[in-house]
Structure 1
Amino acid sequence: MTISTIGRRIRLGLIGGGPGSIIGETHRIAARVDGHYDIVAGALSSDPERARQAALNLGIEHERAYPSWQQMIEEEVARPDRIDVVAVMTPNDSHHAICMMALDKGFHVICDKPLANDLAQAREIAARVEATNAEFCVTYCYSGFPMVRQARDMVRAGELGEIRQVHLQYVQSYLAAHDLPAGWRTESGRAGRSLVLMDIGTHAFHLGAYVTGLDVTRVCADVGSAIPGRTIDDYVSALLRYENGARGSLWVTNAAAGSEHGLSFRIHGDKGGLEWHQEEPNRLIHRRHDGFEQIITRRLGPTMSEGAQRSTRIAIGHPEGYLEAFANLYTEFAERVAGRISEGERDDRPTLFPGVSDGVKGLAFVDASVKSMAAGAWQDVERA
């Protein structure tokens, strides 16, 4: 990966992700990997004392270890060394309020997925991003894997031809036990209209759209639980129809006993297909309709696509994985924000990292899937 010189380090303020949060530590590692960020402020918990102590434990100065996210945003605005970016890693039901306030106060935002708790909130955030002209990233982190970007570039170069089928899976065992684990995800309303769709379903949905460049226009979904008597959604299977007429499927569950992570795609055009499994992230399988199977590995060199080369760090092929993929999004966002700081104008060129429109599309898919289940019929997916 070519790590650019961006002029100065980006000042980062953290909201959420405190003690006990897996995703919080992931965000912090991602911010540090390429050395573009200084974590200078934080409100890491909804409990004021825990929020302060967690920030102090990270080495944040006492005056910038805030008891609440509201106080952090208000006080940072007035500082001459104010933060540049707010990173949001709180439960889903708080994303809307935090993002809206951060945008109104002039900050750029990195928000953990899903963008909001429902489609209406997601659209409000997108409208505010447009009005404030801010930079915004939604951390659909699997789009940062080099072999995912290799696949994306190959599709765009026409190596698969016209896309005809897209099949997506994300199969975990996190909720396979009858007793639900404690935490906000299993509290009514906090995770959104469907736990499984909001938690991991939007990841699988985004992966298909990211690689193919195609939007899903219609969905027929079976959403519910694979555990008898459970009222929280832990299973979805869906038939998909893409904007070019391609057909697809999505199978997502976090209640498949014995599974580990199980995120994968198989994409087929009229010239061949691509297959990728996140449990073996450095291998991409390319099958040509009229040729041999090819295994493409993550190895920096001229045979890799531009997107894949940009996203890999180690030339001789040592394994890279989840944390590096997450870091790719943070680094690309830092470059974008640094350009805004130095140039003062927004760069309208497409980004490799997912933006606010990707977040809106994810919530539109969730909305259509839930409606499809209720109606027992195909449902149109609203456009972002």
Structure 2
Amino acid sequence: MGVIGVGGMARYHIEQLNKVNGVSITALCDVNTTALNEVGGQLNVPESKRYQSIHNLIEDSEVDGILSVTPNDSHATIIKACIVAQKPLFAEKPMTRTLAEAAEVLELYKQQPIPFLINFSYRNGPAFQYARALVNEGKIGRINHLFVQYLQDWGATIKNTPLLWRFDEPITGTGTLGDLGSHMFDLAEYITGTQITDISAMLQTIVPERTDLLTGELMPVRVDDFACMNVKFNDGKVGVFQTSRNALGSQNQHELSLYGETGTLHISTLNDRELVWIYPNEDGNGTVTEKLDVPMEQGLNPWQEFADRIRGEKKPNSQFATLADGYRNQQLLEAVVQSHNRRAMISVDEI
């Protein structure tokens, strides 16, 4: 395997990839030479295989597949280069910065498909997998409405967070919408097995200026750090979504509440070893609240799946997000942006 990007998130991926039998990381790429040499030394990657050019790594004939964990502005370039080189790719979300970039990627992929995974990582979690299974079993009946939120606090005013790349529009595209909202949309459609058809949205920049890391000057922030959306699904249910970087006390709080005709399910990253199931008493008076332990075997392993796809020894597991799913997700993000700009409800089919 070759790995593009060796920052904080990549190091978690590297740790998991190293657990897959028969896989070794033999090439790295990063523009930060200090980080590149640090990780290269830890993994015993020869200096000749520590690249600063993504194209040099992708074109390395000794690399069978690539894991890419980079800022958003390089996502489209890396995907297209891997397609041209016919190199299997495991990429981070969002697929691209914009829908226009996603369309270019999709057209190229249709002409020259490759083994491809996009890491909507919450699909992999045992709790969310278990929730999906329970919904499919009819545990709460037809879902009437749902609530989804993804809250973090590291961007709050009191934290004095500088202008990191996630707040820099040319690099990130959108702010918390593309970073956290992309997870929310994917998970809601994945767990319910239905699709969002209409979106009414509002984007907000709560902290309008942040300190430039190089100059120390205050710079304007041109991306959202809060987003909220009301949506309709193709089966008639409705949903309310919110995401924020300014929710003090929320470290990484991603959760869904599904309200069905015969019950309710609550799932949260705050306790991903159990689900809360609420259902009516037998006599119809009141409700019962039950905590369900999540079976460990419910989780998915995308690193093993990626290795299996490169080897071509197993049928691909359809539970993992595809490039088409990444494009679909980008359509939803674009619908949010257009809804906010036009102050109107947007039909996703029009995007």
Does the alignment pair 1:335 with 2:302? Answer: no
Which segment is superposed worse, 110-119 or 24-33? 24-33
Whether the 8 Å contact between 2:201 and 2:227 is mirrored in structure 1 is yes
- Alignment gaps of 5+ in structure 1: 1-11, 301-308, 312-324
Shift of 1:34: 3.8
CA distance in 2 between counterparts of 1:147 and 1:26 reads 20
CA deviation after TM superposition for structure 1 residue 49, in Å: 6.9
2:328 partner SS: helix
Q: Which residue of 2 aligns with 1:5?
A: none
The answer to whether the Cα contact below 8 Å between 1:198 and 1:366 also exists between their aligned partners in 2 is yes
Closer, same or farther in 2 for the Cα pair 1:364/1:269, shift >3 Å? same
Structure 2 vs 1, CA of residues 155 and 90 (structure 1 numbering), >3 Å: closer, same or farther?
A: same
Q: Encode CA deviations 1:100-152: one digit per residue, 9 max, x unaligned.
A: 11121111111111111111212322333333231211111111111211111
Which letter does structure 2 place at the counterpart of 1:296?
Answer: L
CA contact (8 A) 2:230 2:239 kept: yes
Q: In structure 1, the residue corresponding to 2:304 is in which secondary structure? A: helix
In structure 2, the residue matched to 1:269 is 260
1:54 deviates by 4.0
Q: State the alpha-carbon separation in 1 of the partners of residues 207 and 95 from structure 2.
A: 28
Q: Aligned-pair distance for 1:363? A: 1.2
Which residue matches 1:203? 183
User: Where do residues 116-155 of structure 1 align in structure 2 (5 Å cutoff)?
Assistant: 116-155=96-135
1:183 and 2:164 correspond: yes
Match of 1:174, SS state, is coil
Residue 212 (structure 2) aligns with: none
Match for residue 234 of structure 1?
225
Unaligned segments of structure 2, at least 5 residues? 210-220, 283-287
Distance in 1 separating the partners of 2:181 and 2:135: 23
Tell me the percent identity: 23
Q: Normalising by structure 1, what TM-score?
A: 0.81
Tell me which amino acid in the other structure corresponds to 1:251: Q
Cα deviation code 1:63-94 (max 9, x no counterpart): 322231111122x13xxxx2221111111010
- The Cα shift of 1:383 comes to 8.1
Contact 1:151 1:211 in 2 (8 A): yes
Structure 2 residue 14 is the aligned partner of structure 1 residue 31: no
Answering whether residue 241 of structure 2 is matched by residue 250 of structure 1, we say yes
Between the aligned partners of 1:53 and 1:231, the Cα distance in structure 2 is 34
* Counterpart check, 1:67 vs 2:52: yes
Which residue of structure 1 lines up, in the alignment, with residue 291 of structure 2? Answer: 295
SS state at 1:130 partner: helix
Corresponding residue for residue 8 of structure 2: 22
- The CA RMSD over aligned residues, in Å, is 2.2
SS for the counterpart of 1:189 is: helix
Contact kept in structure 2, 1:161 and 1:270, CA below 8 Å: yes
Letter in 2 for 1:90: T
Describe the shift of the 1:50–1:285 C-alpha distance in structure 2 as closer, same or farther (beyond 3 A).
Answer: closer
Q: Find the partner of 1:354 among 305, 321, 330.
A: 321
Moved more, 249-258 or 283-292: 283-292
Asked if the contact 1:283/1:295 (under 8 Å) is kept, the reply is yes
**Matching residue's letter, 1:357:** A
For the 8 Å contact 2:64–2:88, the answer to whether it is kept is yes
* Aligned-residue offset at 1:258: 2.4
Residue 231 to residue 279, structure 1, CA distance change in 2 (3 Å) = same
Aligned to 2:275: 284
SS at match of 2:197: strand
Q: Deviations over 1:271-291 (max 9, x none)?
A: 212111101111111222455
Q: Which amino acid aligns with 2:308?
A: E
Paired position in structure 2 for 1:87: 67
1:47 shift after superposition: 4.3
Alignment of 1:312-331 (within 5 A): 328-331=301-304
The Cα offsets for residues 174-199 of structure 1, whole Å up to 9 and x where unpaired, read as 1102644242222232101x211011
Q: 1:227 to 1:51 in 2, by over 3 A?
A: closer
